[in-house]
Structure formats: C-alpha cells, structure tokens
Amino acid sequence: MDRRSFLVLLLAGCADPAPNLLPAVSPLPAAPTPQSPAPVVAPTQSGDPGFDAWASAFYGRAVQAGLPSALLDRELAGLVPDPRVTSLDSRQPEFAKPFGDYIKGAVSEDRIAIGQRKRAELSALMTPIEDRYGVSADVVMGIWAMETGFGAVMGSFDVLRCMATLAAEGRRQQFAEDQLMAALKIIGSGEFPRSQLFGSWAGAMGQTQFIPTTFLSTAVDGDGDGKRDIWGSSADALASAANLLAKGGWARGQTWAHEVTVPDGFDYGLTEGPRDTPDWWAGLGVRRADGLPWITADQGAKAMLIAPSGASGPKFLLLPNHFVIRKYNNATTYALGVGLLADRFAGAGPLIQAWPYETALSLADRITAQQALAALGFDPGAADGVVGVNTRSALRAWQKTRGLTADGYLSIQMVGLLKAEVPSAGPPPQAVPAPTPSPVG
C-alpha cells in the first residue's frame, strides 16, 4: 500500500535540505552541505552528475554516522538511480478516489473470504500473538490484507536503490537517507543481504511492509528461528505488525470503532470534533447501528464521530485504537479499511448504512472550492487540492452560515454552490490538464 500521505506528513518538518546528522561547520545558514570526508572519486559512476554528487556527499555523512567504508564502497559501487521511482514519486492523480469507492475496493468480498479462511488456518499462530502483544489478531490480519494481500504482493524493488534515488532527488532527502542508512545497517550487521531487502518503491518491505528504520526498531522473530524474516515468515511479519500496534499504544480489549446512527436534526458540525465517551455521544442520540449496547471496555474511551462521505453515508465513532492503526499509515481511509476488514474476518456483517453514490472530484474542482472558501473569509489552508482537516473545517463553517447540513463533505454539489458564490475561483485554465478527447464525441 502506498504510504505517501504518511511520509509527507512525517517529512513536513524537514524542509531544510541540509542533513542534521553532522554539526554544521559554518555558522552561515546558507551553507549548502556540511563538509565531510567525501571520497575524491565519486563512490558511484552512474553517468548522472547530480546522483554522483549526492552519493559523494552521502558517503561522507554515512561514515560520520558510523557506517564502515568497506560496506559503503561495496554497496554504492555500480549504483544508478531508478527512473521508475522518480516517476512514481511525482505522479499526481487527476481525480481523488471517493471515500466509499476506496472502502468498497479495500473491503471486498474476495478479501473477506480469504481473510476468514486464513484466520481459521492460523489460529494457533494468532492466539499467542494476541496474548503476547495485547492487540486484536483480526486487526493484524487486516493490516496484512491491506499491505500485501496476505503476503502475496510485497513489491520487488531494490529498496537500497530506491532510497538512494529519492535521496538524490532531494524532495525527501532526510527521510530517504535515514532509510538508506538503516538498510545499510541491516546489510552491514549480516542480518540480511541486500538481495533480501526488496519491497515497494517507497521503501516498505516484507509481508507487512516495514520501512528499514521500522524494521530495525520494531521487527521481531515470531517463529523463534532466530531471524526476523518479514519476507519469508508470516509469523515474523504478523508478530512484527502486532509489536508496532502495541508500541503505538493499542488499548487491550477495546474495539477500534463502531458504526453508528444519529438522530434527525443532528448537528454534523460535531463530526471530526470533540472526543468523548460513548455515553456522552449517546446523550446526543448517537447509537450503535447494529442496535447493540457499548461494550464495557469501550465505555471509558474517548471517541470521535466521523461521517467520511457526508450525512447520507455511514457514520463511525472512532475509538483510540483507530488512531493507533494510523501509526501504520496516517490516513482515515486506510485505518477504516483495516478495521472494517478485521470486523468482517471476526464474523461481523456488512455496514448497515450503504455508501452513497459519490462523484470523483477533479484537482480543479478541489482547488476551486478551497479558493472560494478563502475568498469568502473561511480558512481552508493552502489551495493545494488536498481536502484535509482544515478544508473540511472551513467547509463546515461555511455550510453552517448558509443553512446547509454542516457535514464538511466536499461533494460536487458543494463545489457548484461555492463556485456560484465566487465565480472567479479556480486555477488558471493552463494549470488544469485538458480532458482526454472522447473517441465518439
């Protein structure tokens, strides 16, 4: 699974391209790179001057960080950037996939059937994992399903080469160099050779897709053979994922969310808002959609209400464990997909409220809505086409003042209303890709 959104968040504070592994030699803030013992001849001879210059500078930083030069000489020799990584890193889908479409794809009947079968087959493995780490085995299975289709699709990229490519590119240099150094540490320690460190273009490895730093800090040996083989051993991969959730603060015995209903006239301005106990929400008329009472373990937990595809779609009370799943990938869609799969593996039925029909919004639609909200005095954050918490919050405030249901859901209807209020909103025409001509039209 793509964890770009998570990485972008992670790197939001790392805009300074100068690596912070070394003390600066010059007090001038504009010093381009710290001086370091770079080799006279570039450690790579890729034919790409930018890449080779980065490799020389990285070599010095890696030696300073304690990596042996023999290891660096061996692993950097012959390294060339991977153009597929550059291309995948810069892609920007024109249309945002609607929330319900994403969930319907992620929580498919095929995947549920495989998960239920595997859950039964692996009970002798999963029960001890659940006991030891105190996390839900079904949620661990949900992660396994979402990340690699139960270990079927782990990615075949050379992670070391991918991280070198991203680091040289510069946009995410600190992240990529951290991962590269971690990969080199794994190789240098003799734990695994480079040929084993394969994964996604973004550096996620093995059946539960750990980036190299997470591998070093969190992977465990689940089957007791002395190796943390997250590629070849499902026991190791699943125990490692469980360890990650435990370290992330999983609350033992609590669930991750409940589908809920709200009464007529409910104030949707409370979505993505306060966190309070299920009983507090019940005081506002919020009920479990299946009609069952709250479970005892959940009663003291602070829950947040969401309506991710608006007032006409399913609503959920998110318990703290939802936010623990997001340590894996900080997207509501991802965590909801994992949790709903887990519920189905455990025998729950489908959602009671169906996902509504949603129109995919183009980048121009999203930017138009953000610019209109800003022009009207609401603050959606940067007009970047990313509909995040700030945009939804501004939308709720605008909806409230217009007497609309304040669910913060940017539908095509809301885009139309905003555009009508601010006809000048929207990106300049040349910034919007031309539609593909229709062969019949």
- Contacts to Ca ion by CB under 5 A: 221, 223, 225, 227, 229, 233, 236
Strand residues in 162-302 grouped as ranges (E)? 198-199, 257-261, 275-276, 287-288
Return the number of the residue (109 or 225) whose C-beta is nearest Ca ion. Answer: 225
CB nearer to Ca ion: give 226 or 347.
226
Tell me how far CA of residue 431 lies from CA of 57, 90, 94, 363, 434, in angstroms: 36, 16, 12, 10, 9
**Amino acid identity of 3?**
R
Q: Which is nearer to Ca ion, 229 or 272 (CB)?
A: 229
Provide, rounded to whole angstroms, the least separation between the CB of residue 247 and Ca ion: 19
Please, what is the angle between helix 69-76 and helix 49-64, to 10°?
160
CA 214, CA 122: separation in Å to the nearest integer?
25
Report the C-alpha gap between 49 and 32 in whole angstroms: 17
Rank residues 227 and 400 by Cβ distance to Ca ion and give the closer one. Answer: 227
- CB 117 → Ca ion: shortest distance, Å? 23
Alpha-carbon distances, residue 107 vs 103, 317, 333, 349 (angstroms) = 6, 19, 11, 12
- Dist. CA 310–CA 392, nearest whole Å: 11
Min. distance of Cβ 230 from Ca ion in angstroms? 9
For the CB of residue 135, give the shortest distance to Ca ion in the complex, in Å.
19
The Cα 328–Cα 326 span in angstroms is: 5
CB nearer to Ca ion: give 233 or 391. Answer: 233
Which lies closer to Ca ion via its Cβ, residue 228 or residue 322?
228
- Supply the minimum distance, in Å, between the C-beta of residue 360 and Ca ion: 43
| Cα→Cα distances 340→42, 107, 273, 276, 406, Å | 50, 7, 22, 22, 26
- Rounded to 5°, the CA angle 7-360-436 comes to 100
Instruction: Compare residues 233 and 368 and give the one whose CB is closer to Ca ion.
Output: 233
Contact 339, 256 (CB under 8 A): yes
Least spacing, CB of residue 345 vs Ca ion, in Å: 24
- Cβ proximity to Ca ion: between 82 and 223 the closer is 223
In the complex, least distance from residue 125 CB atom to Ca ion, rounded to whole angstroms: 12
CB 132, min distance to Ca ion, A? 14
177-206 burial by CB neighbour count: b if 16+ within 10 A, else e?
Answer: bbbbbbbbbbbbeebbebebbbbbbbbbbb
